[in-house]
């Protein structure tokens, strides 16, 4: 793997960048899912060894949400993602 132009990790045909996020309530999860569904690229959430589609509210509720989780964003330009979801980023 090599670095892609976005500063993330380049895999076979796409670029991936990771962010730590916090979803501390049911309302946070609902709002997060509504926002990520506006994007046409893939976004996964990772908690331990579990990986779920960030656009799936049921998948998110299967994760351990008491601590920060990792959002993997599969696109070269994450500017819009970062702007819309900045309130969910872990400090």
Task: Indicate the range of 14-18, 21-25, 70-74 predicted with least confidence.
Answer: 14-18
**The predicted structure's pLDDT at residue 15:** 86
Which pLDDT value is given to residue 87?
Answer: 96
Task: Band the pLDDT of 10: cuts 50, 70, 90.
Answer: low
Average pLDDT over residues 31-54: 97
pLDDT at residue 1, rounded to an integer: 45
Going by C-alpha positions, the residue among 77, 71, 76 that lies closest to residue 36 is: 71
pTM of the model: 0.84
Buried b (16+ CB within 10 A) or exposed e, 36-62: beebeeebbbebeeeebebbeeebbee
């Amino acid at each position: 793997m090599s670095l892609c132009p976005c500063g993330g990790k380049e895999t076979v045909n796409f670029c991936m960048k990771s962010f730590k996020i916090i979803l501390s309530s049911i309302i946070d999860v609902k709002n997060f899912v509504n926002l990520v569904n506006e994007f046409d690229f893939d976004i996964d959430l990772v908690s331990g060894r579990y990986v779920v589609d960030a656009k799936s509210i049921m998948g998110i509720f299967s994760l351990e949400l008491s601590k920060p989780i990792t959002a993997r964003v599969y696109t070269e330009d994450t500017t819009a993602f970062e702007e819309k979801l900045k309130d969910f980023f872990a400090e």
